[in-house]
C-alpha cells in the first residue's frame, strides 16, 4: 500500500477552507493515479478535515456547491479502491507545513534550492567533474577566475556579490557573510522535537569494519526533548545495513510493548538514507532485505507511525549507544 496524507490552505485559490481541503485530496488522488505506484498497490489517503472525510464517505450529505468536486473524488476512490482515513491535525503537521508553503510563506522552489545548496547537490561544474562528466574547463563563466563551485557561485564571486548587493539594497538590509556560509548554516542543524501526540525514537546501528560484531542503540524523547527511554543491544556479526534495520525494528517493538504505545504515535528517525528510502518506497527493497523490512512496514502502516531520515550530526546520541552496544553481553533498556 501507498499512503498519501493531504492538507489544504487558501493558496489553492479563492474559496472556503473546506473546498481547499477537497482540492488537496483530489490533487493527491490524481497524482497517485498518474504515477507508477498506482499499479503496485492500493492507496491510503489521510486528511485532517472531518467534514471533507464525512462527505467522501457519504456524498449525499455534501453541500450542493461542492457536489461536483466531491463526486470526482468519490469516483476515483471507488475506482481505485482507496482507503480513506480521518486523522488528527496534530498528526498531520508535516503535510500542513507543505500546504503552508503553497500560500507564500516560503516558495517550494526556494526551499528546494536552499536544501540542495546546503547538501552540495547543485550540479556546478566542479561537482560534475567529480562525477566523471568530461568538461574541458570548470571555470565560473561569469568571472573566469576561479572554479565553479557552490561556494563560489552563490557567495564568493564578485559577480555574485553584486547580485546579493542589489537585493540587500532593495530590501534595506546590511549584512556580512561568514567565510564558509554553507558550514555556518549547517552548524545550526539540530534535533527537532516531535509534535504534540508523538514521541520520537532516534536509532542507529553500528558494525565493525570486518563485520564481526555490531550493536544497535536508540533514544526515545517527547515533544519537550525529555528522555523517555533508551536502549543499547549487541547484534553479533553482519553488515551495517542489517544493523540499521535491526535498530529500527527493535525500537518499534520496544515502543509497542511500552506503556506509551496507546497514548502516542511514533516517529522513528535514522541516519541511514538507504533503509529509510526502502521503508518509504517498498517497491525499491532489495530481495535480500525483504524478510526483515516487510514486517516493519506492516507495523508502521498498521499503527500510523512514521519513519524519517535525519543527518548523522543530529543523531549522535543514538550513534553513541549503538557503538557502546557492541561490547555488551545483552540488551540494556533504560526507562
Mean pLDDT of all residues in 190-208: 88
Beta bridge partners of residue 217, listed in sequence order: 204, 232
Residue extents of the structural domains in the chain: 2-101, 108-186, 198-334
The domain over range 2-101 is classified in CATH as 3.20.20.70: no
Query: Which pLDDT band, with edges at 50, 70 and 90, does 10 fall under?
Result: very low
The backbone region for 142, taken as left when phi is positive above 0, alpha when psi lies in -120 to 50, beta otherwise, is alpha
Q: What is the model's pLDDT at position 191? A: 81
Residue 155 and residue 145 in contact, taking contact as beta carbons nearer than 8 Å: no
Q: 279 Cβ partners below 8 Å, 6+ apart?
A: 248, 293, 296, 297, 300, 307
What percentage of the chain has pLDDT greater than the value 90?
Answer: 21
Q: Is the pLDDT of residue 7 over 60?
A: no
Selection from 327, 86, 114 nearest residue 212 by Cα: 327
Confidence class for position 147, pLDDT limits 50, 70, 90 = very high
Domain 198-334, CATH class in plain words: alpha beta
Check whether 313 has a pLDDT greater than 90. Answer: no
Please say whether the beta carbons of 165 and 231 come within 8 A: no
Please determine whether the domains at 2-101 and 198-334 fall in the same fold group of CATH: yes
Q: What is the residue-wise DSSP string for 59-128?
A: GGGS-GGGHHHHHHHHHHHHHTT-EEEE--GGGGHHHHHHHHHTTTSS-HHHHHHHHHHHTT-S--HHHH
Give the torsion sign (CA, 266, 272, 273, 275).
negative
Give the separation between CA 254 and CA 61, rounded to whole angstroms. Answer: 43
- Of 269, 251, 209, 265, the closest CA to residue 335 belongs to 251
Cell reading at 109: 522552489
What are the tens digits of pLDDT across the range 68-108?
888 989 999 898 888 888 888 767 766 766 665 554 445 55
Average pLDDT, the chain: 82
The C-alpha atoms of residue 55 and residue 24 are separated, in whole angstroms, by 14
pLDDT in tens, 265-308: 999 999 888 898 888 888 888 889 999 999 998 888 777 788 88
pLDDT at 1: 45
Place of cell 533503509: 275
38 within 8 A of 45, measured Cβ to Cβ: no
Chain mean position to CA 294: 19
Amino acid at each position: 500500500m501507498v499512503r498519501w496524507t493531504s492538507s489544504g490552505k487558501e493558496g489553492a485559490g479563492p474559496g472556503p477552507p473546506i473546498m481547499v481541503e477537497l482540492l488537496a485530496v483530489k490533487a493527491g488522488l490524481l497524482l497517485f493515479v498518474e504515477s507508477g505506484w498506482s499499479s503496485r498497490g492500493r492507496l491510503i489517503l489521510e486528511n485532517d478535515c472531518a467534514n471533507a472525510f464525512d462527505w467522501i464517505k457519504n456524498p449525499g450529505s455534501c453541500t450542493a456547491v461542492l457536489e461536483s468536486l466531491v463526486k470526482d473524488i468519490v469516483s476515483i476512490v471507488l475506482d481505485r479502491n482507496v482507503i480513506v482515513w480521518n486523522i488528527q491535525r496534530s498528526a498531520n503537521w508535516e503535510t500542513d507545513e507543505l500546504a503552508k508553503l503553497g500560500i507564500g510563506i516560503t516558495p517550494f522552489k526556494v526551499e528546494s534550492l536552499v536544501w540542495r545548496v546546503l547538501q552540495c547537490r547543485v550540479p556546478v561544474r566542479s561537482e560534475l567533474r567529480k562525477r566523471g562528466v568530461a568538461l574541458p574547463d570548470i571555470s565560473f563563466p561569469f568571472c573566469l577566475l576561479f572554479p565553479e563551485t557552490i561556494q563560489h557561485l552563490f557567495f564568493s564571486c564578485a559577480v555574485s556579490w553584486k547580485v546579493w548587493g542589489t537585493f540587500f539594497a532593495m530590501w534595506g538590509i546590511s549584512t556580512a557573510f561568514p567565510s564558509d556560509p554553507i558550514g555556518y548554516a549547517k552548524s545550526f542543524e539540530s534535533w527537532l522535537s516531535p509534535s504534540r501526540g508523538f514521541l520520537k525514537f532516534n536509532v542507529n546501528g553500528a558494525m565493525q569494519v570486518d563485520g564481526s560484531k555490531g550493536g544497535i542503540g536508540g533514544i526515545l524523547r517527547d515533544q519537550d526533548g525529555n528522555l523517555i527511554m533508551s536502549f543499547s543491544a549487541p547484534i553479533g556479526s553482519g553488515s551495517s545495513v542489517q544493523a540499521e534495520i535491526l535498530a529500527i525494528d527493535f525500537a518499534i517493538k520496544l515502543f509497542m510493548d511500552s506503556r506509551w504505545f496507546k497514548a502516542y504515535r511514533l516517529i522513528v528517525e535514522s541516519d541511514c538514507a538507504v533503509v529509510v528510502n526502502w521503508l518509504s518506497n517498498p517497491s525499491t527493497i532489495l530481495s535480500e532485505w525483504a524478510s526483515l523490512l516487510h514486517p516493519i512496514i506492516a507495523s508502521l502502516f498498521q499503527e500510523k507511525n512514521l519513519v524519517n531520515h535525519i543527518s548523522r550530526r543530529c543523531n549522535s546520541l543514538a550513534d553513541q549507544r549503538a557503538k557502546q552496544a557492541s561490547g555488551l553481553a545483552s540488551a540494556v533498556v533504560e526507562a
